[in-house]
Structure 1
Amino acid sequence: MENKENILILAKKTILSESQSIAKLADYIDINFAEAIQVLFNSKGRLIVTGIGKSAIIAQKLVATFNSTGTPSLFLHASEAIHGDLGMLQKDDVTICISKSGNSPEIKVLVPLLKRFGNKLIAVTGNMTSFLAKESNYILNTTVDAESCPNNLAPTNSTTAQLVMGDTLAVCLMELRGFTSEDFAKYHPGGALGKKLLLSVKDMLENSMKPMVSPDSSIKKVIFEISEKRLGVTAVVENNKVIGIITDGDIRRMLNERDTFSDLTAIDIMSKNPKTIQSSTMVTDALNILEDFAITQLIVVDDGNYLGVLHLHDILKEGII
Structure 2
Amino acid sequence: MSYLDLQPKFDFQRVGKQVILIEIDGLSQLDQYINEDFTNACKAILNCLGKVVIMGMGKSGHVGRKIAATFSSTGTSSFFVHPGEASHGDLGMITARDIVLAISNSGESREIQTLLPILKRQKTQLICMTNNLESSIGRATDIHLCIKVPHEACPLGLVPTASTTAILAMGDALAIAILQARGFTAENFALSHPGGTLGRKLLLHVNDIMHTGNEIPKVNRDASLRDALLEITRKKLGLTVICDKWMKIEGIFTDGDLRRIFNTNIDLNHAKIADVMTCGGISIQSNVLAVDALNLMQDRHITSLLVTNGKQLIGVVHMHDMLRAGVV
**Residue 223 of structure 1: aligned partner:** 229
**1:306 offset after TM fit, Å?**
0.4
Number of the residue aligned with 2:150: 145
| Partner residue in 2 for 1:271 | 278
Contact 2:51–2:97 (CA<8 Å) still a contact in 1?
A: yes
**Which amino acid counterpart does residue 306 of structure 1 have in structure 2?**
L
Kept in 1, the 8 Å contact 2:211–2:315? The answer is no
Q: Residues of 2 paired with 1:196 and 1:66: CA distance?
A: 22
1:80-229 matches, cutoff 5 A? 80-205=85-210, 209-229=215-235
Residues 91 and 206 of structure 1, relative CA distance in 2, 3 Å threshold? farther
Cα-Cα RMSD = 2.3
The code of the aligned residue for 2:272 comes to T
Deviates more, 1:306-315 or 1:145-154: 145-154
Q: Which deviates more, 47-56 or 123-132?
A: 123-132
Q: Shift of the alpha carbon at 1:137?
A: 1.2
Q: Secondary structure at the match of 2:281?
A: coil
CA distance in 1, matches of 2:211, 2:241: 17
> What displacement does 1:89 show?
1.7
2:41 counterpart of 1:71: no
Whether 1:250 aligns to 2:263 is no
Q: Describe the SS at the equivalent of 1:277.
A: strand
After TM superposition, list the pairs within 5 Å mapping 1:36-47 onto structure 2: 36-47=41-52
After superposition, what is the alpha-carbon deviation per residue over 1:54-109, rounded to whole angstroms, capped at 9, x for unaligned? 11111212222222222222322112222221111211211100111111222332
> Contact conserved, 2:60 with 2:104, CA < 8 A, in 1?
yes
Q: Offset at 1:4?
A: 9.6
SS at match of 2:81: strand
For residue 128 of structure 2, give the secondary structure of its aligned residue in structure 1: strand
- Structure 2 residue 328 is the aligned partner of structure 1 residue 303: no
CA distance in 2, matches of 1:44, 1:189: 25
2:22 equivalent to 1:27:
no
Distance in 2, matches of 1:171 and 1:206, equals 40
Counterpart position of 1:283 = 290
**1:207, CA displacement in angstroms?**
7.0
In the alignment, residue 289 of structure 1 is paired with which amino acid?
L
Q: Unmatched 5+ residue regions in structure 1?
A: none
Question: What displacement does 1:259 show?
Answer: 6.7
8 Å CA contact 1:211, 1:308 repeated in 2:
no
Q: Percent identity?
A: 41
Aligned match for 1:55, one of 60, 71, 94: 60
Return the alpha-carbon distance in structure 2 between the equivalents of residues 314 and 5 of structure 1.
Answer: 54
- Provide Cα deviations, 1:150-200, integer angstroms capped at 9, x if missing partner: 433222221122112112212222222222233223322335443222111
CA distance in 2, matches of 1:68, 1:19: 26
CA distance in 2, matches of 1:5, 1:283: 54
Report SS of the residue matched to 1:176: helix
Once the two structures are TM-superposed, the CA of residue 202 in structure 1 deviates from its matched residue by 0.4
Partner SS state of residue 49, structure 1 = strand
- Asked if 2 retains the 8 angstrom alpha-carbon contact of 1:50 and 1:56, the reply is yes
CA contact under 8 A between 2:212 and 2:314: conserved in structure 1?
no
- Point out the more displaced range, 109-118 or 9-18: 9-18
Shift of 1:263: 3.6
Tell me if 1:293 matches 2:304. no
Residue 206 of structure 1: how far off its partner (Å): 5.5
CA contact (8 A) 2:53 2:81 kept: yes
Distance 1:5 1:214, change over 3 A: farther
Q: How many residues align?
A: 321
The structural deviation recorded for 1:278 is 0.5
Where 2:279 maps in the other structure, the secondary structure is: coil
Deviation at 1:210, TM superposition (A): 0.8
TM-score calculated relative to the size of structure 2: 0.90
- The Cα offsets for residues 220-254 of structure 1, whole Å up to 9 and x where unpaired, read as 11211112111111212123111221110110011
8 Å CA contact retained: 1:192, 1:318: no
